[in-house]
Structure 1
Amino acid sequence: MKKLYLILTLAFVFIFTNTQIHAERIDSIDILHYEITATIRNLSAKTISCSVKLIAVAKFNQTTNITLDLLKLTTTSVQSKSQTLFYTVSDSTVRILLEKNYQAGDTILLTITYQGTPVLDGSWGGFYFNGTYAFNMGVGFTHDPHTFGRCWFPCIDNFTDRATYTFHITTDSGFMAVCNGLQKPKTINADGSITWHWLLSETIPTYLASVAVGKYVLIQYDFYGKQSTYPVILAAEAKDTANLRASFIKLTNALQCFEERFGPYLFDRVGYVAVPFNSGAMEHAGNIAYPISAVDGSSNSETLFAHELSHHWWGNQATCSTAGDMWLNEGWASFCEALFLECVYGKEAYNNDINTKLFTVLRWAHVHDKGYRALADAPTQYTYGTHVYKKGALIVHTLRTVMGDSSFFDACKSYLYKNRFKDVNSLNIRDEFQKFTTYDLTHFFDSWIFDKGHADLQLTSVNTVDENKTILNFNQMSRWKSLLPKTFPMPVNYHLANGNVINKIVNLNAVNGCEFSAEVNTADVKQAAFITINEENLLMPGKTIEKQIIKTTGTKNFNNVLLSITTQQVSDSALIYVEHHFAAPFQTDALSLKNIRVSNERYWHVDGLWPTSFKATAFFNYDGSTPSGNSGYLDNELITVTEDSLVLLYRVNNSGSFKVHTDNTKQSGGSKTDKLGRFWVNNLQKGDYAFGIYDKSASLGSTEKEVRSFKIYPNPGDGLVHVNLLFEHKAGTLEVTDMNGQLIFTDMLSVSINELIIKTASWKAGSYVITFKDEAGKVSTVFIVN
């Protein structure tokens, strides 16, 4: 009775303290090895019967209990050596009372036996049974944490607990189990079943552990890598092997590409296993689960196998420590899609892929992910969103540009080597890369990675000083961004009349937060028919670009810039160059239109080399709708009720003001309230086109009024900012907002007050808009707080 009483008392204490234990378990033990023994037979039953032996080390003294993650499978016993242990279960955990107190450094040996039907994630991931296949996909998109080892074995299920693995998987005759690591000799059992043995010697987190059961045959060959020779194993049903070979014909190219730029492949094999899954692939270490639909004999999906392979550097070798830093895994792997194309097909293929991602990000990322989001610390529901994948790739591409290839790839190798088989965060990669460049990566990361939104740099004027020197002036417009980039190398492209292009790089440093200038050679400017910046998108811009050479009449769709142009007359050929800016056009207060609010969402810049006979019409489509599908969200901030007051605006260049464009036909969609329609421009001209809407409150003054401006110092400010109003004014309101439009400061100014000191010490570093409003109108400018 006393023994039973003691056990029940300990069990009560154990259950009572489980909530604290669960939070502490990651820090209390470190699992070093999992040995998974599983029977996966009679696949139509959709069940597994398993045991797991784990080797763990206590990290603290007085370790008496542990909690393991196991999701909705039935635990039947827990043993330590030969002793049966007390445990409790929930639908997601197994809580184990150890047989003694373990001290820091002590080894804990446990065997957990369990069975049942593994679960699926509601969106993506889990353990699948499909016909003659059974396989896991190691993350769950809608589960938190996303790591999903717990759907098929008890574990510490997070991104940081790494272990080695042994697998013993028993299947029916005619089936094969393919797992991580190297294959060991199989065992043919007395009942005709087969047990397949695999050993993984490198440590991985739980989400990278893998099993796939099917009627597999293996394609095997060796790859001679930079550090060693290792096997390549491709698994598929016999009927799919010919297509498998053809679809993976450039796998060796991908391995060579990544080893050359990132360092040696460190896992004991390269492997892909074909599974009936049509929603992507999963980068299980050395055993990538790959969709059968992508094994079609073509090269159509080769960026998919390159993406998953690259995870063996970005994600499997150095793993994000939290889901919030998933861009370190998925953003880099998405960048590697473009890098693979560059290695195999050349730089143009790389640029095309980057441009495709750029359009997706600017057009759709904020729609798909329900807002503009920073890369770092992404909310869990957007861990696998468009920002993390595609914007992540673009920021890596931009980092490559500002560092230069030599420094960038040297930094990649160093970072990956120092963090091999470790977990990492955004600060780790920032600090390591900083060792390889003089470029300020702290500000780069603050602006591009830790801040949301995007910036759009616009060439606003070209001022020739003398025969040797011309000044290019730029203004940076923000789209939901609070901290704008302050320095970067900017490509300038001089288009000559003969079609040639002179490409130069100018180093830009912010003069006044949003303003930049650069001195260039007057000779380059004089011979240029037109000038563009960042035409190859070497940096992530806030614009998309498309250019076409037109030789015949007819309609051409410029899909990348959301424009259709119909050529009515052309002699020889015409180069049409169009930019679609996903930001407001820069305009000074003095040139602003009265009673018309210009779109903050987008505008077009049209240029090119046009013969004098060239004539074309164009469709500028507006769409203020907010549907749930893949349309809308282009002009929904401008068109809030009806398009009755919507107009098309035009200006020749930034030195002039927008005017209402009248040589067009406005065509509404189904109704005047559906916010859909187009302006059919009868005679397309070079210049800027934007949408505007009549709004009496939008007036910022006119060219007939006194030019009103501020003097702000110091700028950037640090603690205190002095504001001088350099004009006479009526009593009014002074407001400061951040770049998201959030009001930060407000004060009333009487007629006699022209100077104010604002305390900014507690403000977040970034750019701010200061606005003064009185009965004469309003005037605004931007300043920076360090």
Structure 2
Amino acid sequence: MKQCVKEDSMKKALLQLFTAMSISVFGQFNCQSTKLNPLPLQSYAPINYNSRSDTADLIQLKLTIDSRDFTNGKLTGIAAYELGAKLPFSSLRFDLLGFTVDSIVSLSGPLNFTQQGEHVIVNSSAVAGQILHWDFYYHGSTTKDASGWGGIHHDGPYHYNLGVGFAANPHVYGRSLFPCFDNFVEKSTLDEMNIITPAGKVGVSNGIYVDTDTLSNGDLVWRWEGQAPIPSYLVSIAVSDYFKQSWTHNGRSFEIYGRAQDTANMTAGFVNLNAIYDAFVEEFGPYRFEKVGYALTITGAMEHAGMVHLPRTLVNANLNGEDIIAHELAHMWFGNAITTKTAEDMWINEGFAEFGSHLYEEKVYSRSKYVQTVQNNQALVLKQVYQNDGGHLALSGVDQNQTYGTHTYQKGAMVAHNLREFLGDSLFSHASKELIASNTFGNYDAASFKSSFEGSTGISLENFWKDWIYNPGYYGTWVELNYPKNINSGNTSKQVNIHHLSAHTGNYKASQETTPVVVYKHSYNYGYGGKVVFGNSSDYPASSTDSTFTSQSMNLGAGQDFWLSTNDSAESLGSSVYDTFNWIDLNGTKTLPRTGVKITPKPNTTGLDGTFYVWHHYTAGNYTSNGATSRDHFYFIGYEGSHNPPIDYATELPFEVTISFNTNGNNGGLDSDLNGLPGNQMTVAESPNLKWKNGVPIANASTQALGNTGVGNITFTPQHVARYYYVVNTSTLSLEEKEGQGFRIFPNPTEGYLKIESLLDQKELSYEISDLNGRLIAKSTVPHKNGFSQLSLPPALTTGTYILTCDAGIAKFSVH
């Protein structure tokens, strides 16, 4: 469900227009989008009612719900409990919302109780080990939580509950149906669910259907029996004039309930349900509930154990709701067979279920479809999570208003994918099965989840949990040829820079040890060159002065007309996203969905008819700001094709590129390290190397700034087949710009040479000299000893101003 907000300010509308490219929204492919995105109604921690389950155990429940007055929003019920005292008590509190308790009766007679607000306090004593039988008789009006999602719905002919209240505290919402311990850890066997309905209506619930009794007036009692212990919020009731479609698969009953007008869609929309079920059994282990069931409703979706309540609009021949069908089925393993202990670790329930809605595509369709989905999900996270959840958060320990946020669902799924890639599918599957088998119908928090996975795999996940669970941020690697080291080199051994990337980590310093590294080769003359598995980022500890990269020689094969990319096939989802497109498919202007980059084709005079790659790397907090170049993100654009005769590295690409800039950190601007600098002096700089973290301003760039808001667009035409691009502000690019303390060039002005002073601890410096139009004049390396280098300027260099870009920084200099 989406919220629409009317903007009264023209300024806000213009801001939205300028930033639209960078907020490309993917189609609804996640369960969260079918639910109400939670409003920040509370900023405090969720209420935790778990402690009551240390006092008493609600062993078994027989629930009778009279739905005959549902059309008037009225319910009458009986909740008959068998409970056991774990500790001595003189009173016991239950949760119940909106109903009046008429009486509570034990085997020895009526019990004294008080009712106040959402609580019913039974004033009765018990000693440890005592077994009690209490029957609650209650009635009243049904209710929904403030979000309008959780609670009991009466939507025309549909009457049903949804067991989670997004705006409720606690979020578990069993109390909107019956008296209970409303927490995640108290699990009771729903021994019986008796649903009284008018004639012609069908009542469905958890467990196995047993029989239907007909009362003297023709009304019906639908009886269901359960065997699996479930928490209060997973109890299901749905009443309508349902028809049932059912079958048996691998010994399991599959039951779909919908009204007559939905039967055709039911047949078509669940066509892959058996295969989805098989995929999850293969990956996560045995199914633990009595049946696989779905009841079609108006609102949802909700993972009631063995009886999902699913919006009828998601069931159709187009299968555009199949991922949500899969998400809810995945909950039968993550959320239902095992459950988070508290709302603060909701990623265990929702993140892994959302991961299931991605994983099934690999099993049922193809690995490539799965990769596309998880990469789209990653791009959504990087673009929207800050705005949606009010910041970049750790997965574990979220607050009340963030329990069902983008971090929990989408980043949770992203991290589950990364865990699978980090361990390998075989170990990940084994660990998932052991997680459930060793604690079936139990609960986990982040620490015990980690301990279970470590115990079953024998692999330490300490750094993985620190990077991805306990701290905010995104992590990745990027491998590049160490330009200009490999120019005109026919050697098979190439010097590469292996960069450790991270973004939005706050005060946390990344371990740099949790990312698989797979390098892909792309030639602009000979096409795709295959991939090379480098291992793990832990194999390449950073050795640079700023502790962000290391340089090593790796066997990549002969040739020099190729460039590298990393983890193209989702070997890890981190701080980098990319789009690809083929020239033949570029029909008019196109905004790329993951990177938000706009591509406008031009005449293709050079015949570049291959594949183009556009990467967007997020690096906020990874590099120290220099006050001129945005260090929070950068782009890489590369071309892959086959050409004879070969094309040159300095070949112009046949399209314009438009990127956006936003220096306002309060609204998630990616260029906030340039906040306060004039927007009309924003431009794009290019560089052959990431290690420089700087670039030379492009002469053909044009800037469209929205006044002094710090928001705008920059359009340029790439002049090389593989190049990095940075947002820069030219107002601070002085004749002696300092990249960092200790960097300077002199003499300036000069006549024939330059000396470079820096604090870099390396034996040589790579450099480029270009004019103010971005035209390359010279490139090479020079020795760097005791913090100094000296280079001779080309004799043909005429009087004027030029730009030096090197490992230590970027600076203008003038020649007399």
TM-score range, shorter chain: 0.7 to 0.9
The match for 1:104 is 128
Contact 1:567 1:615 in 2 (8 A): no
Q: Distance in 1 between matches of 2:138 and 2:271?
A: 42
| TM, length-normalised to structure 2 | 0.78
Aligned to 2:776: none
Quote the residue 2:115 is aligned against.
89
Deviation at 1:231, TM superposition (A): 0.8
Match of residue 680, structure 1, among 698, 702, 715: 715
Q: Which residue number corresponds to residue 751 of structure 2?
A: none
How far, CA to CA, are the matches of 2:91 and 2:225 in structure 1? 29
The amino acid of 1:474's aligned partner reads: I
State the alpha-carbon separation in 1 of the partners of residues 320 and 50 from structure 2.
45
Task: State which drifts further: 614-623 or 154-163.
Answer: 614-623
Match of 1:719 in 2: none
Structure 1 residues 194 and 627 mapped into 2: Cα distance closer, same or farther (>3 Å)? Answer: farther
Tell me the residue number matched to 2:235. 209
| 2:264 counterpart of 1:242 | yes
Give 1:345's aligned residue: 365
Could you tell me whether the CA contact under 8 Å between 1:324 and 1:383 is conserved in 2?
A: yes
Q: Within the alignment, does 1:29 sit opposite 2:56 as a pair? A: yes
> The residue matched to 1:332 in structure 2 has which SS?
helix
Query: Match for 1:580 among 610, 616, 620?
Result: 616
Cα offset, 1:223, TM superposition:
1.3
Write the mapping of 1:408-427 to structure 2, written as runs, cut at 5 A: 408-427=428-447
Q: 2:599 aligns with which of 562, 565, 578?
A: 565
Normalising by structure 1, what TM-score? 0.81
Amino acid at match of 2:582: I
SS at match of 1:333: helix
Aligned to 2:475: 455
8 Å contact from structure 1 (residues 70, 151) kept in 2: yes
**CA contact 1:446–1:483 (8 Å) conserved in 2:** no
Structure 2: stretches of 5+ with no match in the other structure? 1-47, 746-755, 763-785, 789-807, 810-816
Give secondary structure in 1 for the equivalent of 2:166.
Answer: coil
1:399 alignment partner, one of 419, 426, 447: 419
Checking the alignment, whether the CA contact within 8 Å between 2:490 and 2:559 is kept in structure 1 is no
Give CA deviations for 1:297-340 in whole Å, capped at 9, x if unaligned: 33111111111001111110011111111111111111111111
Question: Does structure 1 retain, via aligned residues, the 8 Å contact 2:84–2:132?
Answer: yes
Counterpart Cα distance in 2 of 1:674 and 1:248: 50
Show the counterpart of 2:797: none
Gaps of 5+ in 1: 1-20, 712-725, 729-778, 781-786
2:218 to 174, 192, 198: 192
Matches within 5 A, 1:421-570: 421-437=441-457, 439-459=459-479, 461-462=481-482, 467=491, 469-481=493-505, 482-487=508-513, 488-496=515-523, 497-507=525-535, 508-509=537-538, 510-512=540-542, 514-517=547-550, 521-524=554-557, 526=559, 529-551=562-584, 554-570=588-604
1:39 and 1:688 map into 2 onto residues whose CA distance is 67
Letter in 2 for 1:148: Y
Distance in 2 between the 1:446 and 1:23 partners?
Answer: 26
Number of residue pairs the alignment of both structures matches: 678
Give the letter for the 1:500 counterpart.
Answer: Y
Do 2:490 and 2:558's aligned partners in 1 also have CA atoms closer than 8 Å? no
Quote the Cα distance in structure 2 between the aligned partners of 1:466 and 1:521.
Answer: 14
Change (3 A) 1:55 1:585: closer
Matched to 1:678, the amino acid is: N
Counterpart CA distance in 2 for 1:526 and 1:439 is 39
What is the deviation of 1:120? 0.6
Say whether the 8 Å CA contact 1:187–1:194 is kept in structure 2: yes
The Cα offsets for residues 558-602 of structure 1, whole Å up to 9 and x where unpaired, read as 222111222323326132111011225987x9xx97xx4322332
For 1:424, the aligned partner's letter is Y
Residues 491, 23 of structure 1: alpha-carbon distance in 2 compared, 3 angstrom cutoff:
closer
Partner of 1:707: 758
User: CA RMSD, aligned part only?
Assistant: 2.9
> Which residue in the other structure is 2:698 paired with?
661
Corresponding residue of 1:173: 199
Identity level (%): 26
Superposed CA deviations along residues 620-648 of structure 1, whole A, max 9, x for unmatched, are: 332438799xx974445544575234232
Determine the structure 1 residue equivalent to 2:98.
Answer: 72
CA shift in 2, pair 1:325/1:632, >3 Å: closer
1:121 correspondence with 2:130: no
Deviation, structure 1 residue 43:
2.8
Q: Counterpart amino acid of 2:630?
A: S
> Residues of 1 paired with 2:565 and 2:469: CA distance?
26
Structure 1 residues 213 and 640, CA, compared in 2 at 3 Å: closer, same or farther? farther
Quick one: which amino acid aligns to residue 220 of structure 1?
S
Tell me the amino acid that sits aligned with residue 757 of structure 2: E
Q: Is the 8 A contact 1:553 1:569 kept in 2?
A: no
Q: Which runs of 4+ in 1 moved over 6 A?
A: 625-628
Out of 70, 86, 91, the residue aligned to residue 43 of structure 1 is 70
Secondary structure of 1:562's aligned partner: coil
Alpha-carbon distance in 1 for matches of 2:57, 2:75: 26
Once the two structures are TM-superposed, the CA of residue 554 in structure 1 deviates from its matched residue by: 4.1
1:692 is aligned, of 728, 750, 757, to 728
Q: 1:343 to 1:136 in 2, by over 3 A?
A: same
Contact 2:230 2:441 in 1 (8 A): yes
Distance 1:520 1:255, change over 3 A: farther
Q: CA deviation at 1:200?
A: 1.1
Amino acid at match of 2:541: V
SS of the equivalent of 1:569 reads: coil
**Distance across 1 between alignment mates of 2:691 and 2:186:** 59
* Residues 467, 510 of structure 2: 8 Å contact kept: yes
C-alpha distance in 2 between matches for 1:151 and 1:627: 41
CA distance in 1, matches of 2:405, 2:94: 29
In structure 2, the residue matched to 1:783 is none
Shift of 1:121: 1.4
Please tell me whether the aligned partners of residues 375 and 573 of structure 2 are also in contact (alpha carbons under 8 angstroms): no
Is 1:332–2:387 an aligned residue pair? no
State the partner residue of 1:17. Answer: none
Question: Which amino acid in the other structure matches residue 700 of structure 1?
Answer: E
Residue 305 of structure 1 aligns with which residue? 325
Structure 1 window deviating more from structure 2 (479-488 vs 198-207): it is 479-488
Query: How far apart, CA to CA, are the structure 1 residues paired with 2:432 and 2:225?
Result: 29
Q: Does 1:382 align with 2:402?
A: yes
Q: Which residue of 1 aligns with 2:276?
A: 254
Equivalent-residue separation in structure 2 for 1:257 and 1:538 (angstroms): 21
Higher strand residue share:
1
Q: Which SS does the other structure have where 1:559 is aligned?
A: coil
Q: Is the 8 A contact 2:171 2:343 kept in 1?
A: yes
AA aligned opposite 2:684: L
After TM superposition, the structure 1 = structure 2 runs for residues 566-645 of structure 1, keeping only pairs within 5 Å, are 566-570=600-604, 571=607, 573-583=609-619, 596-609=627-640, 612=647, 615-624=653-662, 633-636=669-672, 638-640=674-676, 643-645=679-681
| CA distance in structure 2 between the partners assigned to 1:517 and 1:649 by the alignment | 24
User: Which residue identity lines up with residue 660 of structure 1 in the other structure?
Assistant: P
